[in-house]
Chains A and B, each alone.
Chain A
Amino acid sequence: MGRYEREFEKAEKDAEKFDLDDYFAHGINYFKCGCKKNLSVVYNYPFATALAIIGELYGTDIPGRNGNYHKGIAYLSNELGVHKRQIKILRKAFVYKNKYIYKIPYKVVPIVTKMIELLSANESKKIVKKFLKRQNSFVYREILIGKQYSEIEAVAKYDERIWQICNELTMLVKKVE
């Protein structure tokens, strides 16, 4: 297994670890959507891997022994002025009344926009190339939050704020070169 594959695997394992912040992710900063009885993949591994890549490329100045995944979250949190919790929440679906559900922060658009900007600026780097090669889609938004985007689109008509978020996400059509 190559160095990058080990990084990707570490990011996936970091995403699966218990995180106390998940229990505080509720209230006015989030909404729930995409309730499902069965979910084949609970974790959004590409999102977690993308965070690790951002951590590797931009998080070298961030102190601490935490891995690239956590450095990526810290970097984005500093850049966007957004709580780390709101970034981490997109990495998985949560158990809710014996089903699964996605928790989406209302600041999902700046988070995803920034991630796309950082990844697309480094497309020539080997780590990003390897990451993109593994993905099923050629649109960054679909790679990072494909499932969540579909669920947001399905319920946008019920709420104005979500409608606005959906419209902004729909405009994010940056493709992999």
Chain B
Amino acid sequence: MAKNSNKKDNGLNDFMLKGFDANHKDFELLRFYISKDIKRIEKKIPQGESQIVCCMIASLIDLLIAYFFKDILSNYAANAKMGNLCNVILRMIAIIVLIVMFLLLSKMIKRFLEYRKRKKQISGELLYSDAEYKQEIIDDFDNIACDGLLICQNYIAKYHKEQKDYIKEFYLYEVLHHLTKSLKIFDIIYENSDQFVSDKDDNLIDSYRAKNFVIFAQEIYVFLEKECKKADESGIKTVLINMDAKISKFKRML
């Protein structure tokens, strides 16, 4: 009976593996996406370091203001011949003002630092100053762009075997989606090839890999062009034209 249940388990495992068609590449992709999600969650958690910087700068400014106005406040209280109670109230108001200023200043400084970082991301300067950012793009090429082409190839194989029209359409749109994503990532590599493509540096992308990517993408595009001819939707035509334009551009590196 134990042997029978073991056979059943193995049979179930085999069925599940065949059904999901999982292989090493799929697991590698799963690992990559999980780690990417973890990194994204980590980014959303308030960055302790930048908060400390904002608070330090804000408190420094507050201290300077308190230092410069300390004497003015004392002289004013003396000249106005204020009683102790009035003196205390005045100082409490000053403290409240300083606390409010501290909160406002730390928010303003945080916003300013975020604005500066975003400006650097938009301008593209990070490519030359942040090695982690550059590595992220290379990782995207390795784990999203290249695997995207393999996913497309997989769907194309299933498309040719499938009989039902709505499932074929699904596969077709998946190929469109994954190829679009892959080409978008490769466009960054292509436009900055002096930073990303090198046969001498192991950390960068080899030129023969980049060229092979273009050839592979071209083949997938040819399939899409043929199969999407029947599609009436202008959205698909727009996507195809953009793809064609990109691949024609990339072919200059062949």
Contact = CB atoms under 8 A, between A and B. Distances in A.
Contact of A138 (B121, B237, B245): B245
Contacts of A99: 125, 128
A31 interface: yes
A155 B241 contact: no
B187 A150 contact: yes
A37 B194 contact: yes
B245 A137 contact: yes
Given A32-B123, A37-B194, A173-B241, 15 more contacts: A31-B122, A32-B119, A33-B123, A33-B124, A35-B123, A35-B124, A96-B123, A139-B245, A150-B187, A150-B190, A154-B187, A154-B191, A155-B122, A159-B122, A170-B242
Q: How large is the interface on B (under 10, 10 to 19, 20 to 34, 35 or more residues)?
A: 20 to 34
B184 interface: yes
B204 to A, nearest CB: 15
A10 to B, nearest CB: 28
A162 B242 contact: no
A97 B190 CA distance: 23
A151 B191 CA distance: 8
A101 B123 contact: yes
Interface string B217-254: 00000000000000000000110011001001100100
Interface of B: 118-119, 121-125, 127-128, 184, 187-188, 190-192, 194-195, 237-238, 241-242, 245, 248-249, 252
A37 B128 contact: yes
Contacts of B249: 136-137, 142, 146
B192 A173 contact: no
A153 interface: yes
Contacts, number: 71
Interface of A: 31-38, 96-97, 99, 101, 136-139, 142, 146-147, 150-151, 153-155, 158-159, 162, 170-171, 173, 175
Nearest to B121: A158
A1 B124 CA distance: 40
B122 A158 contact: yes
Contacts of B191: 34, 147, 150-151, 154
Give the interface centre of A35, A37, A38, A171 by most chain B CB atoms within 10 Å. A35
Contacts of A171: 238
Contact of B124 (A155, A159, A162, A175): A155
Q: Dominant SS at the B interface?
A: helix
Contacts of B242: 139, 170, 173
B168 to A, nearest CB: 25
B201 to A, nearest CB: 16
Q: Dominant SS at the A interface?
A: mixed
Contacts of A162: 122
A153 B186 CA distance: 12
Contacts of B118: 158-159
Closest 8 CB pairs of A and B: A35-B124, A173-B241, A139-B245, A32-B123, A155-B122, A158-B121, A154-B188, A150-B191
B245 A154 contact: no
27 contacts: A32-B123, A33-B122, A33-B123, A33-B124, A35-B124, A35-B125, A35-B128, A37-B128, A99-B125, A136-B249, A137-B245, A137-B249, A138-B245, A138-B248, A139-B241, A139-B242, A139-B245, A153-B184, A155-B121, A155-B124, A158-B121, A159-B118, A170-B238, A170-B242, A173-B237, A173-B242, A173-B245
A159 B124 CA distance: 13
